[in-house]
Structure 1
Amino acid sequence: MPPTPDPVEDDLDTLPPPPPVFHAEQALLGALLLEPHRGAQIKGITAGAFSTAAHAALFAAIRSLPAPDPAQHSRNTAWLNQVLAAAGEQTRGLTTAYLHHLIQCCPQPRHAPAYARIIEEEHSRRLLRGAAHRLIQTTLDTSLPHRVATTLAEAGALTTVVDDIATRFPTRSGSLPRALATTPVTTRDEEAGEEEQLLLATATARPGSVERMRWLVPGDFTHPLHAGLWQCLTTLSRRGTPIDPVTVLWEAQCHDIAGTAEPRELLGLLSDPDGCDPDYWGEQILQRSLLTTAHHTGRRIEMLTDDPATTTYQLVVGARRALADLSAVRVRWHHATTPPQANAPAHNRISAPPRAGPPPTTAPPAVRIPR
């Protein structure tokens, strides 16, 4: 029989200890409560940067009240009472004893800017983690009517967060982020495999579409065999070699792409097109690749933020590297879904004036004026 928990036993010891930034928040608030004039040294931090509602309310109250005269503040607690009253309007549970506790938690009030910097760094980490998590959730939400557009919008918001962090924390020399063991999220399901087979068959039947679909690369495929066969198709197209199931099969054999697949099986795969345009199946494959890359990008950034040893500089570098992979797929998606006229470079349509020619060698004919 399992032991019955004692209701009298205090379970506070089971709670995880507060993170280091919590102590930095206490130290900063204690410095501002003890020496309010230190608030003029604190720049670029708001109440939203604090990890608890109580700390955020206290910081907002301190910011909203004018700093008292240092001499008077050392003799009475009138200003502290005003801070407590203003903070109490935003959250409950604050007491005078906690304000005195915060003052005792501050080792050196003159280090207030350093405490604020710590809080700002951790807040940036939380913002980056939240943006990455929203990107991940968007890639998984199949109920969205415009899933790709919404995913790219979240990726843009994530990029804005990274750029903002880089602005507030300028690049400096330092070690690069550690390589994290991440596993790319693939959607190697039956539907994806069928779409890839239909693309290969229709592209083999309509070779002219292969050269047009340069925006699709083997890495977009979920099955290695299908990726290899697409590589064969693009190679044959660029060489100008005739394309049909037999030539693709021979190219696959020359590059040892077929693997364990039987020749008859590959011929059947490449000889069963449907009535759809190959571009349609290519866009379906590229869309799946974009969503997969976006999901993997969000996971990489989220894992970086979960590692407490990753500095703010390393977060920016690692996040930008992850976003660069997604940006490359985004560019190819733009080329795939934009009409050719929009992708073509804009030319100046204003006709140039005619160039001056050599002077005439004969006199112009006389013009008769009717009488």
Structure 2
Amino acid sequence: MQKTKNKRPAPRKPNTPPADKDDILSQELCSLALAQEDDLRHAVRRYLRQGKDAVLYGAIELARGEDADAYRTLKEAVEEDAGTVLLCKGDGPEMEINAFAIPLFVHSLGGLREAEGFQDEAAYAALLDSFTSAGLEGPKARVVLVQHAYDLAEMERISASQLNAMVHEAAAAMMDKKVAEAPALLRSIAGWQPSAFGAADEAVELRFLLGFALKRADDPFYAMPAAGKKQDAWFEARMQRYQDWTVSAAPLVQRCLAGADRAGALRLNFLYQDLFHGALQQGKSEHWMLAMMAEFGAALDSQGPARAVITLVETDEDAALGVQLIGAAGELAHADRRLDVGDDVEAELDDLRDALATLGIDDVTVELTAP
């Protein structure tokens, strides 16, 4: 009988699947944030250029559970570098371009119609010019405004890397002075969510004007004074210019949002102009507050007087301020205001108290400790 050699058994395949490459990169990026490494911003910009949103958002979530300072540092780095890009062409000066947005609530009868938006070319041209003539941007800045009013869902779908690509596309169009393809920008205009408003319904809708401003990185118009009275005056002047603009530009925005027969009837409530992510957060926060007030107001109309109780709602992943509306028969309505790491809880409570007071609810009990 022929002898056979004993063979070493084949190694068993591990039951645990290998770590996903994106997960490994997220952990490495989180580690840079935890250590406050100088390479953090370089890594963030690299992943933005490569379109690796999964790596960026994965790292942010890891940092969120590890350390509040690292979380804020990484989140701010991703948001800033996604929406602001420094460029230099040839021997020219260093240029900066950023994405900004203006949230606004539009009151109308029957709701806005997407097909009517930005059909008035004269109004659009005047609105575009107003950003520099009214002092929202510097006199030497170049501004482009997307000819579309974004709804909240469209804004939320724009990822960090897509926003970064949109900024680069806008820069190419303004600096190269030629028509360039803009696939990321076109992809961002996904269309509004369906509306349930009837023709006779009074509608309140959140929309965002989205634009890009290109200027020299050392433009003195944007130089903020050191902390103190001069800085306070600088911000006050900036705010006054914006408030004046909301009055003078309102008719132009109306004409950009609706046809000639409906534009004049629109009522606009502007929130503050900010960089993309700041404006998005403003809009989301105010949208939540108005939705809560509408629900609570309807409950008060049908059930009569009530009091409010605000408590801390915590899970393993999240925390929120839970707002209960309590009447004679028990709970009438409930809403949770999500808290992010580092949020000013007292400021959030003040906002909730103000909103409840607007509804005539002065009996408010707070039962929580700051998370």
TM range, normalised to the smaller chain? under 0.3
Answer with 1 or 2: which has the greater Rg.
1
TM-score (ref. length: structure 2): 0.19
Structure with the largest fraction of strand: 2
- The structure carrying a bigger helix percent of its residues is 1
